[in-house]
């Protein structure tokens, strides 16, 4: 997936040059200037898997976002980048800069499921014998874990550990 910006030519009266165009990020500002035949342009829109106001950011910032996005292309957390950065109240660049600390538990679609994973696979209580595990109230434990720290349940139900922001 790529990030594109929509750029308008600020001097539309230059003959032979387009009045607007889409560009794939990252891109050098010289390429945009060459496309329009001068230095006056305005970034107006963006196509990305997350929402953010491109008009508030410089081309340099947008290029950094695209570079980090491309760098982490295989990271499952990218799918939740817009939702999670909004929840955390951080800008998308800050989120992408720390995306390696995000763990997506795509098989956990409930807090109870996450509690079971935490006990069985993540060793939440250490090495418990099966007879003791039978007494654990996973629903209650999941509810407690949901409010205890750096966990988030995405709109599709997936549980995400976002580390400490």
Instruction: Give the model's pLDDT for residue 165.
Output: 60
Domain 79-165 bears CATH identifier 3.30.2350.10: no
13-17, 92-96, 145-149 — which is least confidently predicted? 13-17
d(CA 144, CA 93): 31
Q: Average pLDDT in the 2-13 region?
A: 85
Q: Is the pTM of the predicted complex or chain greater than 0.85?
A: no
Domains of the chain by residue range: 4-71, 79-165
> What percentage of the chain reaches a pLDDT higher than 70?
95
Cα 4 to its chain centre, rounded Å, is 16
Q: So what's the pLDDT on residue 15?
A: 65
Q: In whole angstroms, what is the distance from residue 62 CA to residue 77 CA?
A: 19
The DSSP annotation for 134-154 comes to: TT--HHHHHHHHHTSSSEEE-
Please state the three-class secondary structure of 31-73 as a single string: HHHHHHCCCCEEEEEEECCCCCCHHHCCHHHHHHHHHHHHHCC
What CA–CA distance (Å, rounded) separates 20 from 97?
Answer: 31
Q: Is the pLDDT of residue 98 over 90?
A: yes
Determine the 3-state secondary structure of 24 from DSSP: strand
Contact indicator for 114, 159 with CB cutoff of 8 Å: yes
Q: How does pLDDT run across 62-80, given as a tens digit for each residue? A: 999 999 999 999 999 999 9
What's residue 127's pLDDT?
A: 85
pLDDT digits (tens, 9 = 90+) for 120-159: 999 889 888 888 988 999 999 999 999 987 899 999 999 9
What residues does 41 pair with on adjacent strands?
Answer: 9
Whether CATH 3.40.50.300 fits 4-71:
no
pLDDT digits (tens, 9 = 90+) for 44-53: 999 998 887 8
CA–CA separation, 143 vs 45, rounded Å?
40
Between 17 and 117, the more confident residue is 117
């Amino acid at each position: 997936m790529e990030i594109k910006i929509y750029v308008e030519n600020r001097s539309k009266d230059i003959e032979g040059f387009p009045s607007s165009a889409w560009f794939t990020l990252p891109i050098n500002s010289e390429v945009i200037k060459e496309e329009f035949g001068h230095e006056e342009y305005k970034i107006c829109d963006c196509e990305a898997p997350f929402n953010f106001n491109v008009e508030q950011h410089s081309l340099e910032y947008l290029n950094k976002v695209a570079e980090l996005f491309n760098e982490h292309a295989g990271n499952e957390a990218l799918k939740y980048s817009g939702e999670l950065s909004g929840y955390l109240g951080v800008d998308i660049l800050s989120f992408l800069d720390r995306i390696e600390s995000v763990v997506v538990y795509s098989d956990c679609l409930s807090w109870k499921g996450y509690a079971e994973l935490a006990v069985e696979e993540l060793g939440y209580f250490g090495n418990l014998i099966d007879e003791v595990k039978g007494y654990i109230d996973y629903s209650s434990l999941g509810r407690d874990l949901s409010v205890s720290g750096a966990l988030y349940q995405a709109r599709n139900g997936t549980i995400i550990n976002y580390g400490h922001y």
